[in-house]
Amino acid sequence: MQSSVLTVFLPAAVAIVMLGLGLSLTPADFRRILQLPRVIGASILIQFIALPFVAVVIAKLFGLQPDLAVGFVLLASAPSGATATLLAHLARADVALALTITAVSSLLSLAALPILVNAALAHFMGEGRAIPLQLGKTLQVFAVVLPPVAIGMLIRHYKEWIAAALDKPVRILSALFLLGVIGAAFAQERANIGTYFTQVGLAALAFNLMSGALAYGTAVAVRAPRAHAAAATMAVCMRNGPLAITVAGSASLLNNMTMAAPAAVYSLIMFFTAAAFGFAMRPKPGSAGQETTAA
């Protein structure tokens, strides 16, 4: 599983798509984020406080064995995945906001993930382990996301006509990349996917839907406009599954591939639910779906 398409092909695909996203962004988009502290703060609190608690509740409700329960807390403790920005782009949500939440959660996960996973090990398995900080994996997230976006923004700044011409083709390419990643992931894991879904499929779906409901409901509660609420929901729901799988399977960390099952299943489910949510949230032609207000 560690060599799956989710850990090998996906970063390359996301990096290419991030270049296209940069073509649609300007520095003003990020300056506007400074006006949204409540949306960003609420999204981060959900990720590192609410979601681990939800993971524990779901593990108990579904009667999961201890190592699968720890796997759910590991998944909940992982930061936002780079694909959150991709899905936000396809849904015409606020890409800069999704990118900002992803970056902040990746930094905070350096401390939060070891603390939360160690607590889960003690709670479910009666043991504690020194899970080290995943600095290398966090840096990978930044390497995949930030440089390509910066290059795209520079192209837009100096050659705006190129950015405008590439907008629609890049959106189509993004959708094709996403479909390709999902298809390849299913093909590579076809021998195990039945077992994984039998073990944690319903629990992973429940966790995904609860994550989305919490994220969107909280964004609405802090009066975030539609585009911001959609972006925040994508950032919360699209977890960094490859990071969770790596932590679970690495011989120097948890060394337990059973703990990787929740992340593996969730990493497939989240694409379908996020795509459905993004389609529902896309603004209708002529609507005010893209308006922004301070929150």
CATH code for position 99: 1.20.1530.20
- The answer to whether residue 232 sits within a structural domain is yes
* Backbone phi and psi for residue 285, each to the nearest 5 degrees, phi listed first: -55, 130
- The answer to whether residue 286 sits within a structural domain is no
pTM: 0.74
- The answer to whether residue 60 sits within a structural domain is yes
Q: Cα–Cα distance between 193 and 186 in angstroms, integer? A: 8
Q: Are 37 and 102 in contact (CB under 8 A)?
A: no
Query: Tokens 């479909």 sit at which residue?
Result: 179
The pair of three-digit structure tokens given for residue 187, joined into one six-digit string: 């093909």
Q: Which residues have CB under 8 Å from 41's CB, separation 6+?
A: none
- The answer to whether residue 291 sits within a structural domain is no
Q: What is the pLDDT along the chain (295 residues), one digit of tens a residue?
A: 444 555 555 566 666 666 766 776 677 666 766 777 888 889 999 999 999 999 999 999 999 999 999 999 999 988 887 778 878 877 788 888 888 888 788 778 877 888 888 888 888 887 656 555 555 655 665 666 678 778 887 887 788 788 778 767 776 776 676 666 656 656 665 666 677 788 898 999 999 999 999 999 999 998 888 889 999 999 999 988 777 877 777 666 777 878 888 988 898 888 889 888 888 877 665 554 444 433 4
- The answer to whether residue 69 sits within a structural domain is yes
Domain of 163, in residue numbers: 5-278
- The answer to whether residue 27 sits within a structural domain is yes
- The answer to whether residue 131 sits within a structural domain is yes
CA dist 112 to 30, 160, 286, Å?
A: 25, 40, 42
Domain count for the chain? 1
Nearest to 120 by CA among 183, 176, 78: 78
- The answer to whether residue 202 sits within a structural domain is yes
Identity at 125, one-letter amino acid code: M
